[in-house]
Amino acid sequence: MNTKQSILKTAKTTIQLESKAINNLSDLLTEDFADAVELIYKSKGRVIITGIGKSAIIANKIVATLNSTGTPAVFMHAADAIHGDLGLMLEDDVVICISKSGNTPEIKVLVPLIKNANNKMIAITGNKESFLGLQADYILNAYVAQEACPNNLAPTTSTTAQLVMGDALAVCLLELRGFSSKDFAKYHPGGALGKRLYLRVNDLSSQNQKPQVGLETSLKEVIVEITEKMLGVTAVVENDKIVGIITDGDLRRMLSKSDTITNLKAKDIMSNNPRRIAEDAMAVDAKELMEQFGISQLLVEHNGEYAGVVHLHDLIKEGII
C-alpha cells in the first residue's frame, strides 16, 4: 500500500470510529439529559462550564455556542478554579463539568467545592462510575468504546462525543427559548450570517448615489449621469415613478444598432418594466432576485416612488454573497 492510500485509509477509519461513537450517544441518553436541560432553562443564573486539558477546549466551544443561542455561559478552567477562579461562580449558576475519566486530580478537588456551594452540577463524562459521575446531580453519558488514536490515548473520539453532547444541549435550549432568526441576528450583528438576517436594501442603497434621468433626457446626458454616479445604470423617472432603466449594456447595444444617435432620448433606449425592490426588503432578497434574473443592479422603491439603486457589489462587500 502506498503512502497516499495509507493516509486515506487512516482518515476513513478515524471518521468511521468517531461517527459510530456519535451514533451511539443517542442510545446513552436518559432522563438526566432532559432534566439537565430543564434545570438550565429554568435557572436564573448562568451556565459555568469547566474542564481540563482537551475537555477544557471543548468546554470553551460549548460556552460559545450557548452564548450565541441565548443561554448565558462562562468558561472556568478546572485548574484555575481551585486557585481563585471559583469566585466567578454565583449562587444561581449551574455548573457543567466535562471529563472523560471523571477522575482527574483537578476534578476531584473541584467537585466537592462546587457541592459545598450548593450549585447544581451536570457531568459530561465517559465514566458514570467515576468520582465525577457519582457526585454529579445529572449525568450526560459521553462514553466511547475507543479513541481514534491508534494507541487509544489521545483524546479524539471522546472529545467529539463531548462536543456533540454540548451541541445537543444548546439546540434543546434554543428550541425551549423559541430562539428565532431575529434573535440570532441580534447576537451575530457583525458576521455574514447575521447580516443576511437583518441587513435591508435601504442600508445598502442609501450609501450609493441616486442616478436618474427623465424620458426626454438626451443620450449625452444619460451617458454623463451613468458615468458620474458610477453604478453602471440609471433609472428613468417620471413624477417620481420608475418608468424604465438604462444600463451600460443598453448603451452598447444601442450604439451597435444605430447609425445616428444625435436625436436619441432616454425613452428611445430604455428598458421598460425594470426589476425593482422595496427599500425595506431584506438584502438577501435582493441577492436572490439578481441571481434569478442574471442582473447586477436593482432599482429601489419607497412607497412606490424611486429611491435609489442596490448593486451586486454592495452585497459582495457586506458578505451577503
Q: Which residues are annotated as a binding site for Zn(2+)?
A: 77
Please state, in angstroms and rounded to a whole number, the distance separating the CA atoms of residues 144 and 158: 6
Question: Residues, the chain, total?
Answer: 321
Quote the CA–CA distance of 303 and 184 in Å, as a whole number.
Answer: 29
> Per the annotation, where are the binding residues?
77
Residue 207's alpha-carbon distances to 56, 231, 280, in angstroms, are 45, 12, 15
Q: Are strands 73-77 and 47-51 parallel, antiparallel or unpaired?
A: parallel
For residue 90, give the nearest of 132, 61, 57, 120 by alpha carbon. 120
Write the single-letter amino acid at 226: I
Cell numbers for 251: 448603451
Look-up: residue for cell 444625435? 262
Please, where are the H alpha helices in 215-261? 219-229, 248-257
